Structure formats: structure tokens, C-alpha cells
Amino acid sequence: MKVRWEDIPPEGRAISLDQLSPLSLATPDGEMVEGPRSASAIEGTLLLQRTRKGIEVKGTIRTAVVLPCARCLKEFTLPIASECEESFLLPKYAPAEEDTELANDDMDVSFLSEEGIDLEDIVAEQIWLSIPIKPLCDEQCKGLCSVCGGELNRGECGCDRQYTDHRFAALKTLRLNVP
Ligand SMILES: [Zn+2]
Ligand SMILES: [Zn+2]
């Protein structure tokens, strides 16, 4: 859903997130093919406020995504609750070309395009920001055995991981010593 500055009444406009089109959580460059996907509807409301210089977006986003655990690779559901607070400036307040570098440093604002702000984009970005770099199904997740690949959460497989670790270390030194 695109909203332009002119579409917002002076008293503001509340948009319930169930009105949005389904989000695509895949990155635009096709990265993260095994990436997160939505596990439940997106709930919450965004309040759009017109300011003298642009649009302010505030609200809470609640949903859940399914994604693989960084340790055991098993898919799990991660609940998301994100507080959104973003400002968009009208294009006429965009810094002149020569100031861009300077402005980029201390500014955490985006600029409005002709078509207005894209609410799906804003929500998808907020969800991305809420996903940890190394998502874990559980803080205590034991991951996979480095020898047999067994799932250690299900129980100890009996492999001597200490031993192989040493051997790998030895291999590494050997390789380094090759002239
Ligand atoms: Zn795990
Ligand atoms: Zn094992």
C-alpha cells in the first residue's frame, strides 16, 4: 500500500496492518533462499502523521516468522514484536548533491518518493531488523555433531569430537608448513 503526503489528513491516519498485501521476505537480490517466511498474519497498526517536512510513521508490528536455527538447522518459529518509528522527508528537503555525503552520516531519515511511502516495504524492513544474525531455536541449542552430523539436542551420539578437533588442528599446521 502506497501512501502519499496528500493522502494523510491533518489529524493523521491509522492503518491496520491486516490491510497490507502479503509481504515477500526474500531479499531483492535473491539472497537467503532458505530465508525466513511468514508464519502468521501481521498484526498491529501504523499511525501516519503529516509533519511540516514529511511523514512520520509510528506503530507496533507483531507477527512470527519461520526460519532455520543457525546451530541445528531445524526450522523454528520466531515471534516478532517491533516498535516502528520512521521519518520520511519531502523530496524538496533532500540535501543537495554536494552535501549528500555529509548528510548521510548523521541522518536516519528516508525521503519520500513521488508515489509516497510503501507500507509493505517499511514493515518488511522492520521484520528483517528484528531477526538476529544468528537465530537460535533455543539459547541452549547444542547444534549438530561435527563428526556424524547427529542432532545433539536429541541426545549425545557418542562421537569423540575432542579427538577429531585435534586432528583438524594438526592438519591445519601441516598445511601451513607446506612450502
Ligand atoms: Zn537449534
Ligand atoms: Zn556424532
pLDDT in tens, 71-109: 999 999 999 999 999 999 888 877 666 555 555 545 567
- Cα of 146 to ligand 2 centre, how many Å? 7
Separation of first and last alpha carbons in the chain: 62
Residue 162: exposure state from Cβ atoms within 10 A (0-12, 13-18, ≥19):
exposed
What ranges do the domains of the chain cover?
2-141, 142-179
- Cα of 25 to ligand 1 centre, how many Å? 21
- Cα of 107 to ligand 2 centre, how many Å? 50
Q: Which ligand is nearest to the CA of 162?
A: 2
Q: Could you please report the per-residue DSSP string of 66-100? A: EEE-TTT--EEEEEEEEEEEEEEE-GGGSPPGGGH
Number of neighbouring beta carbons within 10 Å of residue 145: 16
- Cα of 136 to ligand 1 centre, how many Å? 5
pLDDT in tens, 5-57: 999 999 999 999 988 887 776 655 555 545 678 888 899 999 999 988 899 99
